[in-house]
Copies of this chain bind each other. A is one copy, B any other.
């Protein structure tokens, strides 16, 4: 996508800040960090920004504010979008890895990794790479359940596996393969983060409802 000005006029950094709702200081920070591509130079001190920049800032804002994703993981996501040598599925894999990293600590405890693999096998998720970092994130969560005497075996988690499967199938089915690579990636990453937060929020509300029915 070529950099172009909105309505043919130049967009200065101050106007970009206004359009995107992101402060000039933050925009400069993103430019330094390589999270936002540079504008087209007009003069030595003036650069022209376009809709591509407004969209990228919207993406970064959502990932930071809603997903609490750190700058390190954001760089992984931006690199995955930029690397045009990869297929769409490889790009998604890189995005998954950046999000797994952002999700928190990971373990390499062999027992939990083995349990994670059994869960993935039970769910039939053959498309998961054997070295996907998300396996180690899952293992870290499983690591915590055992000492607290909370169930973590495939039978007890059958309901969680089934629901994760249904929601992912629904969400990936929503993506339109005919769309541009950047748009697909944006939709996938934003969907991952925002609908994930949405799901947790709805689940907390539903828990309050069922707690009131059970203990109210």
CB distance from A10 to the nearest CB of B (A): 24
- When the two chains form their complex, are residues B128 and A171 in contact, meaning their CB atoms are under 8 A apart? no
Chain B residues whose C-beta falls within 8 Å of the C-beta of A123 in the assembled complex:
202, 205-206, 209
Q: Does A105 contact B (CB under 8 A)?
A: yes
Query: Mask for A192-216, Cβ within 8 A of B = 1, else 0?
Result: 1011111111111111111111111
The binding surface of chain A is classed by DSSP as helix
- When the two chains form their complex, are residues B128 and A177 in contact, meaning their CB atoms are under 8 A apart? no
CA distance A117 to B170 in the complex (A): 24
- When the two chains form their complex, are residues B160 and A204 in contact, meaning their CB atoms are under 8 A apart? no
Query: Mask for A175-204, Cβ within 8 A of B = 1, else 0?
Result: 101000000000110111011111111111
Q: Does A161 contact B (CB under 8 A)?
A: yes
- Contacts known (A89-B215, A209-B126, A215-B88); A203 close to B138, Cβ less than 8 A: no
CB distance from A169 to the nearest CB of B (A): 5
From B104, B124, B172, B214, contact of A211 by CB (8 A): B172
From B127, B144, B194, B210, contact of A216 by CB (8 A): B127
Q: Does A96 contact B (CB under 8 A)?
A: yes
- When the two chains form their complex, are residues A148 and B203 in contact, meaning their CB atoms are under 8 A apart? no
From B58, B203, B212, B216, contact of A196 by CB (8 A): B203
- When the two chains form their complex, are residues A208 and B93 in contact, meaning their CB atoms are under 8 A apart? yes
A136-186 contacts to B (CB < 8 Å): 137-138, 140-142, 144-145, 147-148, 150, 157, 159-161, 163-173, 175, 177
9 further contact pairs, Cβ within 8 A, besides A88-B215, A169-B206, A177-B215: A89-B216, A93-B208, A96-B207, A120-B205, A127-B210, A137-B204, A150-B194, A159-B167, A160-B195
Q: Which residues of A contact B (CB under 8 A)?
A: 58, 62, 65-66, 68, 87-89, 92-93, 96, 99-100, 103-105, 119-120, 123-129, 132, 134-135, 137-138, 140-142, 144-145, 147-148, 150, 157, 159-161, 163-173, 175, 177, 187-188, 190-192, 194-216
List the 6 closest pairs (A to B, CB-CB), nearest first.
A127-B212, A168-B206, A164-B202, A127-B209, A125-B209, A172-B210
